Amino acid sequence: MAGDENDHDHAHEHDENCDHEHEEGDDIVTLIDADGTEVDHFWLGLVELDEEQFALLCPVDEMDEESESTSVYVYSYTMDEDGAESFEAVEDEALLARVQAAAEAMFDAEQEEES
C-alpha cells in the first residue's frame, strides 16, 4: 500500500449507477494526474483513523488478470455539505503505515464475518 507517486487534482466522477455509497470495487474514481491525464481507479474501501477518512484506490489498469502486482493508493478523503468529494495523496510514511494497518484489520474482520 503506498501513497500516489503522481500528484492528482481532486476530480471524482461516478458511473451512472452510483447511488453515492461506495461499494468495494464497484465504484470508479477518476483522478487527474500532474500531466492532466485522467486515471480511473477502483474504490476499494474507506478507512477511518483519528477522525479522518482515507480512501483506498487501485488504478483500473492494474486490476486486470494479467497484472503481476496491484498498487493501492491512499488518499485523505473529505466530502463537503454539497456532496463534493476531495482526494489528497497521503505522503507521510508514518501515517501511511497506520492507515495500512487499519485497512488490513478492517479487511481481516470482513473476511472473518464472511466465513
Residues 7-17 have pLDDT tens digits of: 343 333 333 23
Q: In what order do the strands lie in the sheet with 8-9?
A: 8-9, 28-33, 38-49, 52-59, 73-79, 85-89
Q: Is the dihedral of CA 53, 27, 109, 92 positive or negative?
A: negative
pLDDT score at 21: 43
Burial class of residue 6 in the structure, from the number of CB atoms within 10 Å of its CB (0-12 exposed, 13-18 middle, 19+ buried): middle
What's the whole-model pTM score?
0.71
pLDDT tens-digit readout, 72-111: 899 999 999 999 999 999 999 999 999 999 999 988 888 8
Single-letter amino acid code for the residue at 99: V
Q: How many CA atoms lie within 13 A of 9 on its CB side?
A: 10
pLDDT score at 10: 35
Q: What is the mean pLDDT of the chain?
A: 78
pLDDT score at 22: 45
